[in-house]
């Protein structure tokens, strides 16, 4: 964060390319830093929580959510809070043209859009590519019988469909799967509630992203993952 805001402050005193585009370059670097560290720490938090060896799934889930939420909250909103409340006081020159609201708007817009893009890639694009790779490997190995040729009985056809599903689809994680979905919604809620004044279109964007996420999750569950095992729970846990 210090490097990003130092670059912004330095670019305000320059001319040419850095004087014109330095602030935008710093904002792009900050966006990449936020999204990459969110992905890296997601894996690290899962490893650390598993290493703690909690006794029940509920305890595991609560501690994983606590780690993920604390880091992602500070990592995502840290630079935004600095821009909104501290940039004018801490850095020489303050905000470009003394307009911190525009700087804050650019940061929020990039974080919003990059988050939606990464969600689309991880939910739809990567599973599609992985499934196509699995199909190619199955075909190269002789394929999985679909049970539709010949005089197979309906039971044989259903068993063949189950074999095909098991070979081409991933297992849905009933614990970590919903955590990722809830985390995206919580971060979007934070953007709208805390900084909606700086990004007036944030409620509309959040609604559009939420609807897109709803369709993507449905598509993921139908075409990329095996049928989840139903679990009986009394609430949504720590997210209440």
Residue 236 has pLDDT above 80, yes or no: no
The length of the chain is 240
Position 93 pLDDT exceeds 70: no
pLDDT at 214: 86
User: Which residues are 170's β-sheet partners?
Assistant: 225
Mean pLDDT of 199-211: 85
pLDDT per position as a tens digit, 120-159: 888 888 888 887 887 777 677 665 545 444 556 677 766 7
pLDDT at 99: 67
35-89 pLDDT per residue, tens: 888 889 888 998 999 888 888 888 888 889 889 988 888 888 888 888 877 777 7
pLDDT score for 147: 47
pLDDT for 98: 67
Which pLDDT belongs to residue 73?
87
pLDDT computed for residue 90 by the predictor: 67
* Dihedral of the alpha carbons of 58, 62, 65, 66, in degrees to the nearest 10: -170
| Overall average pLDDT of the 196-224 stretch | 84
The 3 state secondary structure assigned to the chain is: CHHHHHHHHHHCCCCHHHHHHHHHHHHHHHHHHHHHHHHHHHHHHHHHHHHHCCCCHHHHHHHHHHHHHHHHHHHHHHHHHHHHHHHHHHCCCCCHHHCHHHHHHHHHHHHHHHHHHHHHHHHHHHHHHHHHHHHHHHHHCCCCCCCCCCCCCHHHHHHHHHHHHHHHCECCCCCHHHHHHHHHHHHHHHHHHHHCCCCCCHHHHHHHHHHHHHHHHHHHHHHCECCCCCCCCCCCHHHC
pLDDT tens by residue, 151-190 = 566 777 667 666 766 777 777 888 888 888 888 888 888 8
Query: For residue 92, what pLDDT is reported?
Result: 57
User: Mean pLDDT over residues 103-131, rounded?
Assistant: 84
Check whether 117 has a pLDDT greater than 60: yes
């Amino acid at each position: 964060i210090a490097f990003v805001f130092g670059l912004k402050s330095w670019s305000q005193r320059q001319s040419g390319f850095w004087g014109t585009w330095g602030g935008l370059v710093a904002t792009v670097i900050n966006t990449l830093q936020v999204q990459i560290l969110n992905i890296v720490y997601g894996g690290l938090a899962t490893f650390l929580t598993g290493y703690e060896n909690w006794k029940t799934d509920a305890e595991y889930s609560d501690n994983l959510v606590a780690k993920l939420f604390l880091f992602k909250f500070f990592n995502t909103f840290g630079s935004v809070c600095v821009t909104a409340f501290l940039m004018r006081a801490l850095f020489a020159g303050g905000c470009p043209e003394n307009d911190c609201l525009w700087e804050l708007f650019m940061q929020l817009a990039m974080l919003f859009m990059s988050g939606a893009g990464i969600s689309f890639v991880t939910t739809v694009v990567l599973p599609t590519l992985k499934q196509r790779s699995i199909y190619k490997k199955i075909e190269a190995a002789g394929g999985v019988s679909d049970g539709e040729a010949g005089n197979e009985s309906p039971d044989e056809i259903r068993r063949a469909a189950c074999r095909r599903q098991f070979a081409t689809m991933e297992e849905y994680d009933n614990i970590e799967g919903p955590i990722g979905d809830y985390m995206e919604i919580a971060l979007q809620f934070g953007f709208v509630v805390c900084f909606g004044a700086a990004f007036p279109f944030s409620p509309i964007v959040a609604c559009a992203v939420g609807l897109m996420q709803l369709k993507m999750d449905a598509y993921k569950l139908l075409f990329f993952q095996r049928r989840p095992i139903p679990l009986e729970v009394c609430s949504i846990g720590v997210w209440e």
